Amino acid sequence: MKKTGAQILCEILIKEGTEVIFGIPGGAVLPLYDAFPQYPQLRHILFRHEQGAVYAADGYARVTHKAGVCIATSGPGATNLVTGIANAYMDSSPIIAITGQVARSFIGKDAFQEIDITGITLPITKHNYLVSNTGELAEIVQEAFYIAQTGRPGPVLIDIPKDVQQEEVEFVYPDKVNLPSYKFISRGHSIQIKRAAKLIDKAERPLIIAGRGIIISEAYDELKELAEKAQIPVISTLLGISSFPENHILSFGMLGMHGMAYANMAVQNADLIIAIGMRFDDRATADTGNFAPLARIIHIDIDPVEIGKNIRVDTPIVGDVKTVLKGMNGEIETREHLDWLSQLDQWRYEHPSLEIRQGDELLPQYVIHQIYEATQGNAIVVTGIGQNQMWAAQHFVYTKPNSLISAGGLGPMGFELPAAIGAKLGQPEETVWCVAGDGGFQMTIQELATITQANLPIKIAIINNSCLGMIRQWQELFYNHSYVDSTLWNPDFVKIAEAYDIPGIRVKQRDEVIPAIHKAMDYPGPYLIDFVVEPEENVYPMVQPGESLSQTLDFPKVTSNLSDILRKERIV
Amino acid sequence: MSDAKHTLVALVEDKPGVLNRVASLFRRRAFNIQSLAVGHSEQPGLSRMTVVVSGDSAEIEQVRKQLEKLINVVRVSDITKAAIVARELSLIKVKATASTRSEIIQLVDIFRANIIDVASDSLTVEVTGDENKVESLIELLRGFGIKEITKTGRIALTRGNNL
């Protein structure tokens, strides 16, 4: 049967299980949008900026484990996707980014809204395509899904010229994907698994570092079995949070620059690190030269490139985390590590990194913890970047698998609101809390319109300190308290929300926090709370740049002169 | 050891943009590339790329794995330690006068190189061999005055039945 390129794309999207598409129409994708009414199975969510659409596709992918699809037109539409594609690449999130391109005869002529998006996204996609032959479109789209969703997931971009979308060609569903040059190893090498199991059996102070690979592979049960069978404490990277229940007796929180002091101490004193589905990011390891100095390291990852990239490892296992852990759990012995675990408990007692100061001040940590109390952990938390992200990672107790959605590798401010939209569409039954910073919120604030138009009951908590908080913290600590351009004049966020037809409330006192959160949760639609928090609150614990995890600071240093500056600038 | 030269041979799909992907990877990861040569292989649809990179063994392993991760790259081997035959080809245009011409021709004969173009004031020499041989000839010709040089970079195959 003959079909147009646009119809073929829709057919394959449906065959690949796509239900929601995030995008904005434009000149070079008009033929595609024109075909949408023939495919009511595809729900298109209209965004206000392409960056919002791609973050939403990412959020959707993270909560559903299937590729999120976003669409933008050629030129500026395509370039507006770039930050989101880079973000998905850094965090191994499967995205299919579809861009319109000028008609084939105009390519290379600097036509209106022509841009070389495959060239631009070369280093930030797992793979990309410029479709030059309509007959190959079906195969390419199918391949793109396969590449995006298998092995180490990642974004794939398909650039489709306008005349390809319009051209009619004979259409049959393509056969199975045939990509001889693309391979990934699922099953770990059995000898390596046996070697690792021996190391685990012999270890006195073993420690698991759980990364996002566990969530991607949905290896929650296997991780739990490993930890429980050999009684190994578990800490996680930022993106590994919610791979292991944080209320478990073996859970010791997050490691890294703003990790728990006791988690960092565990790393520095362990004699065996079992690093699972993580890539030794510098925010997790701090000074790599002095990372886990006493430990042998087992590294399990599906991407061979990650082995030995940042840290020299003793026993690498390349493979899918779930498959490898299953094999390993069969090999290891039942163990107890009472001394080691009580040592960790002792450190936790001596360095209570999660203590929240008493008093009247409205502390951001308190806000996050109350959102946890109100939801009992039964929610998906989507964070922005910076202080709000760290507090959300630290003070919410993640007990439910895959309940923290946060952009770790790239750290793009403004991720939170669109990603929350994607998360809500992917898991409509879940309560979604968007934890935003007042800075980042204003980078994608226009998507409030998307929320209203698509009628999505997302709960938004702005941690409003009238600052680019993490920047201000660094200026305080490392730039002699000189707050150059990090303090913000902010609009009235409640009025803004109201203008978008979203009710909201401003909270300035500690005793208003709990009622406000309940009000938001009881309200059937979207709701915004503007938490006006202590402006000079810093994120602790902290490992200063260049130092090792051994030098984790638990306690805040003296604060500075910000209050005066802010009092002049803030409107509330 | 830290900047030892390694020879990697990559079998890549013959598709538009593959060379760009490989080159972009080298730039992006700050790998130290010495030469890159590419041409059709014996298999239809596949090209063979010879890349000379310098670095320590951990770096070279990263290069190999990063290359292999590219979707269009089928296989990459570090053949530095294998028994290989490796050649590069160079064309050298050297100044020649009536008095120096015969001396140049003698040198070219010793190196089993060829004269492929003769002009009134120059000779163009074609030399094939490993880098040492090519460099030695160039050094010797330098005294006569070199006008232009072009090189292919190293291409290599393993000996006999290997690979």
Domain ranges of chain B: 5-78, 86-158
The two structure tokens encoding residue B143: 């005294």
Exposure string over A268-307, b if 16+ CB within 10 A, otherwise e: bbbbbbbbbbbbbbebbbbeeeebbeebbbbbbbbbbbbb
Q: Give the pLDDT confidence score for residue B149 in this predicted structure.
A: 96
Residue A1 falls in the annotated catalytic set: no
A561 pLDDT more than 60: no
Q: Give the pLDDT confidence score for residue A70 in this predicted structure.
A: 98
Tell me the per-residue pLDDT of A309-359, one tens digit each, with 9 for 90 and over.
999 999 999 999 999 999 999 999 999 999 999 999 999 998 888 989 888
- For residue B151, the distance in angstroms to the closest alpha carbon of chain A comes to 28
Q: Give the pLDDT confidence score for residue B24 in this predicted structure.
A: 93
Distance CA B66, CA A33 (A): 37
A551 pLDDT more than 60: yes
Tell me the per-residue pLDDT of A111-135, one tens digit each, with 9 for 90 and over.
999 999 999 999 999 999 999 999 9
The verdict on domain B5-78 having CATH code 3.40.50.1100 is no
Question: Which chain B residues are Cβ-neighbours of A147 within 8 angstroms?
Answer: 71
Residue A473 falls in the annotated catalytic set: no
Question: Which chain A residues are Cβ-neighbours of B13 within 8 angstroms?
Answer: 181
Contact (CB<8Å) A308/B21: no
Phi, psi for residue A494 in degrees, rounded to 5: -70, -40
The verdict on domain A364-569 having CATH code 3.40.50.970 is yes
Band of pLDDT at residue A56, cut at 50, 70 and 90: very high
The verdict on domain A190-350 having CATH code 3.40.50.1220 is yes
Question: Which chain B residues are Cβ-neighbours of A118 within 8 angstroms?
Answer: 17
Closest residue, chain A, to B15 (C-alpha): A129
Asked if A127 contacts A104 with a C-beta cutoff of 8 angstroms, the reply is no
Distance CA A393, CA A384 (A): 11
Amino acid in the structure at residue B133? K
Within 8 A by CB and 6+ apart from A507, the residues are: A362, A367, A513, A516, A529, A530, A531, A532
Instruction: Indicate if B86-158 has the same CATH topology as B5-78.
Output: yes
Number of other CB atoms surrounding residue A30 within 10 Å: 16
- For residue A67, the distance in angstroms to the closest alpha carbon of chain B comes to 18
Q: How is chain B split among helix, strand and coil, in percent rounded to 5?
A: 30, 40, 30
> By a Cβ cutoff of 8 Å, what residues of chain B touch chain A?
12-13, 17, 20-21, 24-25, 28, 58, 61-62, 65-66, 68-69, 71-74
| HSE (side-chain half, CA atoms, 13 Å) at A37 | 3
Residue A50 falls in the annotated catalytic set: yes
Q: Give the pLDDT confidence score for residue B55 in this predicted structure.
A: 92
Q: Give the pLDDT confidence score for residue B163 in this predicted structure.
A: 52
The two structure tokens encoding residue A66: 């299937």
Domain A2-170 fold is Rossmann fold (3.40.50)
**Domain-by-domain residue ranges, chain A?**
2-170, 190-350, 364-569
Tell me the per-residue pLDDT of A349-394, one tens digit each, with 9 for 90 and over.
988 889 898 888 999 999 999 999 999 999 999 999 999 999 999 9
Q: Across residues B121-145, what is the average pLDDT?
A: 96
A571 pLDDT more than 70: no
Within 8 A by CB and 6+ apart from A532, the residues are: A362, A464, A506, A507, A508, A572
pTM of the model: 0.94
A252 pLDDT more than 70: yes
CATH code of domain B86-158? 3.30.70.1150
Q: Edge-to-edge, what's the strand order for the sheet holding A95-101?
A: A43-46, A20-23, A68-72, A95-101, A155-161, A127-130
Q: Give the pLDDT confidence score for residue A199 in this predicted structure.
A: 98
Distance CA A246, CA A381 (A): 15
Catalytic residue among A396, A470, A476, A542: A470
Catalytic residue among A50, A143, A447, A534: A50
A499 pLDDT more than 90: yes
Q: What is the predicted ipTM?
A: 0.88
pLDDT above 70 as % of chain A: 97
Question: Which chain A residues are Cβ-neighbours of B21 within 8 angstroms?
Answer: 122
Q: Give the pLDDT confidence score for residue A558 in this predicted structure.
A: 39
Question: Which chain B residues are Cβ-neighbours of A121 within 8 angstroms?
Answer: none
Contact (CB<8Å) B71/A179: yes
**Average pLDDT across chain A, whole number:** 95
Asked if B66 contacts B34 with a C-beta cutoff of 8 angstroms, the reply is no
> 3-state DSSP call for residue A571?
coil
Distance CA A56, CA A436 (A): 15
Asked if A113 contacts A75 with a C-beta cutoff of 8 angstroms, the reply is yes
